[in-house]
Amino acid sequence: MLSRLKSKSEVPAPSATVWHPNFRNYQKLPDIKVVRTAFFINGAAILVVVSLLILLGFNEWQLHAVNAQTTAIQSQIDRDTKLSDQSVVLFKSFQAEESKVNEVDTFVKSKAAVSTIILRLGETLPKNVALDLLDFRENGLVMRLSVRGTPDVASGYATTYLEQLRSDSQLKLFEEFTFTGTPSPNPATNRMAVEFFLRLKGAPAVKK
Amino acid sequence: MMTNADQFAFVKKNPISVGCGVVALALIAGIYLRSDAIPEAEGILVQKTAQAERYALNIKYSAQLKEQLEALAGANKEIDGRIVRASQLGTNTQYFYKLQSDSGVKLLDFRQGTAGVVAKGKSTFVPIPFSVSVQGTLPQVMKFLRELESGNHYCRILTASCAGSAVARSQPLTLSLNLEMLGLP
């Protein structure tokens, strides 16, 4: 059986010691195998062609699907372009108008209202303390005070007042509350002259 | 070496396999030539999808934009009415004298500084500096200050000094201000 499946070229030529001349042309003899070699070759060739056809067809189908999607999206783009362009123009106008409002808002909120701070200081001023000077600077507030009482008592009042200022929730825009110098008696008023410095939050350095 | 006759005979003898070989070669060439088409089409699709999404979002987010723009334009009209013009020195001086008469303080000094230059494309307005000194009682000074801060024009006080006499408490207070008003050159 195996010998029958072998191609003609593989069949060994008869030995030289034959009793008559061998006139057979093996190339021209028919393939007498049960399943001819040509069947396998043709089958394989057809299989290859069919595979390639399927691959090409699949690629073309994919391409068609992608192109169909692109066409659908393009029609959506064509439909939305006009409205979108109008929206963009409208938004640019909005941005221009908004920038003006933001500029005003930034300007107004950039500094604390001085009148509000003065009113708060006036409301919370202890009875033994008088304000001589309020100096609002870039980095904070200098408060010059006259404190009633003997030097030892007046110094206590001043310290208590500073603590009171520090704990005041409405003065949270200041982050540092300090004496700028040693309290000293003022002979002109017979009161203790005291000076505080309230440094604003984020202010770079204390300038006394 | 095969002659033409041999080749013809070979084709004639194996028509299916030869035909399949030729078709296969043509198909391979076709697949090769079309190999760039899908990535290219996909690239275009991605680009178009992004564009379509952008347009759709533009439309979606602009649903109430017209009304908002109208509201903003109205607000800006009001802002324009409250903006100081640096060139209108007379009008600006008049504003401070009006504050003086409304509050009862005495205007000791009033000077308008030089306005900065509007940065092109960055800002619309420019702060216009003023130096003002007034004298009055505490209620008068406070009224002046409050009207200035919450008055018709947008104002921010850069530095302020409010002092009275430590010896004579009944003496009027002196308030010196360095302030800026939002305006146009």
pLDDT digits (tens, 9 = 90+) for A4-48: 444 445 555 555 566 888 888 887 787 778 888 888 999 999 999
What residue ranges do the domains of chain B occupy?
4-63, 84-184
Chain-chain contact of A87 with B59 (C-beta, under 8 angstroms): yes
A15 domain-assigned: no
All residues of chain B having their beta carbon less than 8 Å from the beta carbon of residue A103 are 123-125, 182
Q: Choose the closest CB to B75 out of A42, A48, A101.
A: A101
Q: Minimal Cα–Cα distance from B128 to chain A, Å?
A: 12
Among candidates A53, A69, A103 on the partner chain, residue whose Cβ is nearest the Cβ of B125: A103
Q: In chain A, what percentage of residues exceed pLDDT 70? A: 89
| CATH number at B84-184 | 3.30.70.60
Determine whether the interchain pair A132/B166 forms a contact, defined as Cβ–Cβ distance below 8 Å.
yes
Query: From the list B65, B124, B158, which residue is nearest A94 (CB)?
Result: B65
Q: How many residues does chain B have?
A: 185
Residue-wise pLDDT tens digits, B90-139:
999 999 999 999 999 999 999 998 887 766 667 788 999 999 999 999 99
Instruction: Tell me the DSSP string of B33-66.
Output: HTTTHHHHHHHHHHHHHHHHHHHHHHHHHTTTHH
Distance from CA of A17 to the nearest CA of B (A): 32
Contacts A80 to B, Cβ<8 Å:
52, 55-56, 58-59
Which residue, chain included where needed, has tokens 């900065």? B116
Report CB contact under 8 Å: A56, B34.
yes
Q: What is the CATH number of the domain that holds A122?
A: 3.30.1360
Among B16, B17, B34, select the one facing A59 at the smallest CB separation: B34
- Determine the pLDDT at residue A25: 84
Could you tell me the residue range of the domain that residue A159 belongs to? Answer: 113-200
Residue of chain B whose alpha carbon sits nearest to that of A74: B48
CA distance A69 to A93: 35
Distance from CA of A13 to the nearest CA of B (A): 23
* Residue A129: its H or E element: strand A129-136
Q: In chain A, what is the straight-line distance between the N-terminal and C-terminal CA atoms, in Å?
A: 116
Contact A141, A168 (CB under 8 A): no
Determine, yes or no, domain membership for A106.
no
**Residues 6 or more apart in contact with residue B36 via CB below 8 angstroms:** none
Q: Check residue A133 and give its pLDDT.
A: 92
Q: For the whole prediction, is pTM greater than 0.80?
A: no
- A122 domain-assigned: yes
Position A3 pLDDT exceeds 60? no
pLDDT of residue A14: 54
Give domain status of residue A58, yes or no: no
Contacts of A53 in chain B (CB under 8 A): 27
A52 vs B31, B51, B56: nearest CB: B31
pLDDT along chain B (185 residues), means of 10: 83 89 94 92 96 94 91 92 90 92 92 79 86 94 93 92 81 92 88
**CB-based burial label for B129 (10 Å; 0-12, 13-18, 19+):** middle
| Chain B partners within 8 Å of A86 (Cβ) | 62
Q: Mean pLDDT across the stretch A50-61?
A: 95
Label the pairing between strands A184-186 and A191-200: antiparallel
Task: Please tell me the total count of domains within chain A.
Answer: 1
A53 located within any domain:
no
